[in-house]
Structures are given as C-alpha cells and as structure tokens.
Structure 1
Amino acid sequence: MKEITAAQLKQMIQTGERVHVIDVREDEEVAFGMIPSATHIKMGDIPERMNELDKNETYVIICRSGVRSEHVCRYLEAHGYDVCNVIDGMLGWDGELE
C-alpha cells in the first residue's frame, strides 16, 4: 500500500498537484474542520459509495490518525482502486481547514 505523510500531502496541494483526498472520519470529527479540497465519505459509507470513485484516479485517504484510512485503503485496493494512505492523518495536518 502506498503511504504519505500529511506534510507530503500539504506539499502536493500547495504545488497545485491534482489530488483527490477522501476524508473517512465521522461527521462530528469533520465538523472541527477538514482539508478544503477533500471529499467527506465516512468509513462506514465506503462500500455503498465506492461506485462514486473512478478506478482510473488515485485517491489519498485520510482519517484522524491513519488507522481507519489504512483499513479503507486495504478495502478499496481489494476492489481495484488506486489509493494512498496518509499515515499520520489529520493529527499530522497543519494546513488550512474549512
């Protein structure tokens, strides 16, 4: 499984790289802020919503600490998706929030 840090993700966004970020935290967690370009799909909703994702794109998956996002990455990889886990999650994010 591909992995990056929150700092590497921030750098990718700042340099204008096209990045598809999926935030898999719960509603009450994202209420405190999420990465501006991220799409919110709760971990539990991934199975029913993965048809919204394009298998030709790469998705960067983030949660609070990197554990749930790792599980989501493993699940999506098993279904043929190209994913990358943010290993330190939002705990490592020091960038802008919305």
Structure 2
Amino acid sequence: MVVTMLRLRKAVTNLTQPQFIEGYRKAQLIDVREPKDFEAGHILGARNIPYSQFRQRFKEIRPDKPVYLYDQNGGKSARAALFLRKKGYGQLFHLQGGFRLWTGKVKSK
C-alpha cells in the first residue's frame, strides 16, 4: 500500500476543488464513473470514459494536453492516472475527495 501511495504521488497531482476549478477548463476533463452515475450528474464539460472501459478507450485522451480526472471518491481516478502515466501521459491531475465533495457547477441529463 505504501508503494502504491508513493507511485501515485509521482504520477498525479492531487488538487483541492478550488485548484481543480482553476485549471480544468483549459484541460481534458474526464469522469471515470459508470454511465448511469455520469448521467445522474457530472461536472460541467466532463467526458465520460468509465474505468471499466478505460484500458480500451484511453487513446481518446490526448497525451499532449493536461488531463483532469475524477470519480465518486477518488480511488478509480487515481488508478486511471497511474495507468495513463505508464502509457506516457504527463500532466495528470486528480480531484481530491472526488465528485461526492464537489460543490461547483453540475450538469445532469
């Protein structure tokens, strides 16, 4: 577990909600929750690439632009960031606490 925490610190930058809001509009915003959760409500401007499909669909994310990831609690988006780091992605950011703590703008279908 300690090794995973150290790898995570090197792979992704954890951001508080104000820090996340400051930069996500200039980046690729990816929600890794499942489609039903995404449709129930997501951060305005986010794309849904569920963690269950992430290994097949990660190429939809451009490696030359910053990537802002989030999920419900933060665990799956952190693992997605580790996966992207292994694939050569550089600028990876993660919403600390996940969507459950989000108080910013939300879109629902």
Smaller-chain TM-score range?
0.7 to 0.9
Amino acid at match of 2:17: A
Q: Which runs of 5+ in 1 are unaligned?
A: none
8 Å CA contact retained: 1:23, 1:63 = yes
* Higher CA-based Rg: 2
TM-score of the two chains, using structure 2 as the length reference: 0.79
The answer as to 2:104 corresponding to 1:88 is no
Equivalent residues in 2 for 1:51-90, closer than 5 Å = 51-82=59-90, 83-90=92-99
8 Å CA contact retained: 1:7, 1:92 = no
State how far apart, in whole Å, the 2-side matches of 1:51 and 1:76 are: 10
> How far 1:49 sits from its partner (Å)?
1.0
Q: Deviations over 1:60-94 (max 9, x none)?
A: 11000111110101111111112111121101210
State how far apart, in whole Å, the 1-side matches of 2:32 and 2:68 are: 11
TM-score of the two chains, using structure 1 as the length reference: 0.87
Identity of aligned residues (%): 22
Count of equivalent residues: 95
Equivalent position of 1:43 in the other structure: 51
Select the residue among 6, 21, 27 that pairs with 1:10.
Answer: 21
State how far apart, in whole Å, the 1-side matches of 2:100 and 2:17 are: 8
State how far apart, in whole Å, the 1-side matches of 2:20 and 2:94 are: 10
Q: Which runs of 5+ in 2 are unaligned?
A: 1-11
RMSD between aligned residues: 1.4
> How far 1:2 sits from its partner (Å)?
1.2
Return the structure number with greater helix share.
2
> How far 1:10 sits from its partner (Å)?
2.3
Distance verdict in 2 for CA 1:36–1:62, change over 3 Å: same
8 Å CA contact retained: 1:22, 1:38 = yes
Amino acid at match of 1:42: P
